[in-house]
Structure 1
Amino acid sequence: MTPSPTSAAALDSRGTRRVVIASSIGTVIEWYDFALYEAASALVFGPLFFPEQSAIGGALASFAVFAVAFFVRPIGGMIAAHIGDRIGRKPILIFTVTLMGVATVAVGLLPTYEAIGMWAPILLVLTRMLQGIGAGAEFAGAVTAVAEYAPQNKRAFYTSFAQASVGLAFVLSTGFFAVLAAIPRDALLNGAWRIPFLASVVIFGVAIFIRRRVEETPEFIEAKSEISKPTTEPTKIPLLQAIKGSPRELTVGILCGSGLNVAGYLVNTFSLSYIKTTLEMSATVATLGVVAATGSSIIAVPLFGILADRIGRWPVLLGGAIFTAIYMPFYFMLLDTRQSGIVVAAMVIAYGVGQSAMLGSQSAFLSELFETRYRFTAIAASREINVMVLGGTTPFIATAMVGATNGSPWPVVLFVVASQFLTIVSVLLARRTRRIPGTGPSNLQVRKIESQPLT
């Protein structure tokens, strides 16, 4: 497929910057909303919505509802991606930010168990499902849009901004709760917890405004024009096209996020509860640790993106998984010192090195596995299936493991190491890629070499 002069001209720096900014800001609002629940799950939702449970039971119930969103994420991702691959990327980018913004404001308006009894956790589950549907579609759409605008030799750098935006979202949401955690507990439970949920309406409006100004990606327009030709078979069901056309790549895509998802949700969600409940440290230390850890990724992720553009996506992704597997036993040893500075530093290292390396390289790695005509769907399936199985369940599994072993973290360590092994295996199974002139951004196209394993 040879790019037309029009599509090539559209790939100017201004268009690339515009779509990067729009996708990043949208990702901030999406994951700010999503991360709010993570922080609230560990800090306040237990007594507010599950007051009849013990402290550990309340945390487990909150994390179970937290996991519900991850089971509906693939549904939202598949529906939106199907439309995105058939109609366009832009409509979905607007829809997802609207859905999740509405769901988050609704959480801030929910009555508690004390007011309406069992209806409170039921409504919490329903709003959580809406958040999950929005999140399932959002990230794949943002990454796809940026990847289809960015030049191939800077694709990891540009797509890394969507991942770095997730870190910024966690800083905003968890930072909000870090401030709230410093106020009296009664004031927090009596209504102060609602403030960050309701405040999201402001950045939600900004994200809508910016995303409406983004143009459709040149690669999608070009692919759609090819599909419309009489000699070309139309893409009726993108998911089936992906399964039929790229089964190995789809398997690699699903498995490669294992280490990233488990380690990420362990640090930014489970660690809040572990530090506060098991180690009996201040909630302020826990939330500040998450703010510092995720905040480090705002800088580290783009730097690893630059590295992935220089030496390749797979070495950076592989290196992040190996580092995390080696570091995880030391992570819990450092947490168990109960020294505030050491605890925060341990979280920063885990997120700023191993996690950021995987975040900085994964988006470009995934986008280059699949063809334009079903890229959105394949990326959504790859990410959301893994997140459903491992990401959303990680806080629940880790909390249950610690509870079953009277506070010992070593089963959790083995769980995280096993997840890194899945990422390592998937990357090693990926096929080597090489540049072939003639198509794609910057007159370069990534093609798969069918017979050569990655070395």
Structure 2
Amino acid sequence: MDTTRPLRADSPAGNTPAPGPDAAAGETHMTPGARRALTAAVTGTLIEWYDYALYGAAAGLVIGPLFFADADAGTSLAAFATFAVGFVARPLGGALIGHLGDRHGRRPAMLLTILLMGVATVGIGLLPTTAAIGVLAPVLLVLLRLLQGMGAGAELAGAMTLVAEFAPPSRRGLYTSLVLSTPPAGIALATAAFLGVASLGDEALLAGAWRWPFLASAVLFVLAWFIRRRLDETPEYRAAQERAAARGERERTPAMQLLRTRRSALAVAFLSITGHNALNYTMAVFALSFLTSEAVGLSRPEALAAVTLGSLAGVVATPLGGWAADRFDPGTVVALGSLLGAGYVFALFTGLSSGSALTAGLVIAGGYACVISLTSGAQGAFLAGLFPPRQRFSGIGIAREANGALVAGFTPMAAAWLVSQAGGAWWPAAAFVSVCCLSSALAVFLWRRTHPRAEH
């Protein structure tokens, strides 16, 4: 039986955090510890999305010919399958590292995520290709993607949890949206990096220039590790642990407790970001191969420039979604963004198929500014409000990364397959993304109807 129900702020369904020693209920400013947490969260999230967008760009442009000899470099299903593999490992990372974060604290969990991602990303940059070591190359590539996925599987969940628990209650939406505005920056940084090496020409790119952006990420990882070593534990987590200790409670496996008592919250968390992920990864990953296909005919640098331009719009607009979440409520903003996405995706594909790099960049920018800004900006506050502090890291991690494995990771491959099956027509892929967006809006709407006090 599902025991999910709206309770007071410090119990399983409150959206407003229980005030800790550093965050009284009426405060609107952040303490020094909170500012360090925000810096650590933003840095790690930037790296996570730089890594994933970097591999997404590589999957659309170079992974096929270098690691799968018979694959088409443009829309290779094999290359997109290795992109999806990283998402398959994310729920495992979300569950295991989320357990560590709920059981032993946010700081050690956040250090582990950055270590796993750093080793995997730099490892991909050093990996020999199939021409050098044969079939071992794609095998090692898959293993590194699994390792990268495990680290990334807890990174954004941990970042949202960390900032939500430090943020003043009345500013939870805004401050978590600052973390969630970082993914478009990571995407833009990665595509700009690939744009730089792609401009050297196909021969130089395939000869080894593609490795440089992967290896350059080592600098970011060292910086993030240094910042995270100075993190404090969140006051809300400390308070929850102290209350549990006073009552003699000891929750050994937060994930299992979630599955027993909060199945509805997990399901809603999963469904609420389905449209967000489908649209986001269509614009950030699939668009690159679609734009460089024979049907559209853009060059690699033009496609990369269009995605970079579009991604930057999300950096600026996402905090507006966070402000709206604080002004109204997170569920309303997420549902509205999802509904907008269901219709906007058709305009997106119309612009992508125009053959103009400028038009493609503008419709991608519109998707980030008008849709992702809302679904991403309000996402942190909405998801944090579904789970109590002692299960929050696990709850957000499991729900987000299960969706990542089933929706985000496979959307580029599904879109490529749908376009291929339709003889190059884009409307089936657009319809797929639209249905994903509608499912998110419906899930949030039904949740708010049955749990009217859960976000207040």
User: Which band: TM-score by shorter chain?
Assistant: over 0.9
The answer for the alignment partner of 1:437 in structure 2 is none
Deviation digits for residues 183-212 of structure 1 (CA, Å, limit 9, x no counterpart): 121111111011001111111100000111
AA at the equivalent of 1:16: A
Structure 1 residue 77 corresponds to structure 2 residue 94: yes
The answer for the alignment partner of 1:269 in structure 2 is 285
Determine which of 339, 346, 357 is the counterpart of 2:374: 357
The percent of aligned pairs where both chains have the same amino acid is: 41
Q: TM-score, normalised by structure 2?
A: 0.92
AA at the equivalent of 2:59: S
Distance 1:221 1:111, change over 3 A: same
AA at the equivalent of 2:57: A
Determine which of 411, 420, 438 is the counterpart of 1:403: 420
**Once structures 1 and 2 are overlaid, which stretch shifts more, 231-240 or 251-260?**
231-240
> C-alpha separation between the residues in 2 aligned to 1:5 and 1:205?
31
Q: CA deviation at 1:5?
A: 4.9
Q: CA deviation at 1:12?
A: 4.6
Alignment of 1:224-235 (within 5 A): 224-229=241-246, 231-235=247-251
Distance 1:296 1:240, change over 3 A: same
Given that 1:7 and 1:222 are in contact with CA atoms closer than 8 Å, whether structure 2 keeps it comes out as: no
**Once structures 1 and 2 are overlaid, which stretch shifts more, 15-24 or 231-240?**
231-240
**Once structures 1 and 2 are overlaid, which stretch shifts more, 312-321 or 7-16?**
7-16
> C-alpha separation between the residues in 2 aligned to 1:5 and 1:342?
50
The answer for the alignment partner of 2:298 in structure 1 is 281
> C-alpha separation between the residues in 2 aligned to 1:285 and 1:4?
50
Deviation digits for residues 77-101 of structure 1 (CA, Å, limit 9, x no counterpart): 1000011100000001111011101
> C-alpha separation between the residues in 2 aligned to 1:55 and 1:155?
43
Given that 2:86 and 2:409 are in contact with CA atoms closer than 8 Å, whether structure 1 keeps it comes out as: yes
Q: CA deviation at 1:250?
A: 1.4
The answer for the alignment partner of 1:251 in structure 2 is 267
Structure 2 residue ranges without an equivalent (≥5): 1-9, 11-17
Distance 1:83 1:346, change over 3 A: same
Alignment of 1:30-179 (within 5 A): 30-55=48-73, 59-179=76-196
Number of equivalenced pairs: 437
Structure 1 residue 181 corresponds to structure 2 residue 198: yes
SS of corresponding position for 1:190:
helix
AA at the equivalent of 2:343: I
SS of corresponding position for 1:106:
helix
Given that 1:428 and 1:453 are in contact with CA atoms closer than 8 Å, whether structure 2 keeps it comes out as: no
AA at the equivalent of 2:285: T
Q: CA deviation at 1:381?
A: 1.1
AA at the equivalent of 2:390: R
Structure 1 residue ranges without an equivalent (≥5): 433-448
Q: CA deviation at 1:163?
A: 1.1
> C-alpha separation between the residues in 2 aligned to 1:253 and 1:16?
25
SS of corresponding position for 1:430:
helix
Q: CA deviation at 1:431?
A: 3.5
**What is the root-mean-square deviation in Å for CA atoms of aligned residues?**
2.0
Q: CA deviation at 1:8?
A: 5.0
> C-alpha separation between the residues in 2 aligned to 1:3 and 1:159?
17
Determine which of 371, 377, 381 is the counterpart of 2:394: 377
The answer for the alignment partner of 1:439 in structure 2 is none
Structure 1 segments, 4+ long, off by >6 Å, are 451-454
Determine which of 329, 335, 343 is the counterpart of 1:326: 343
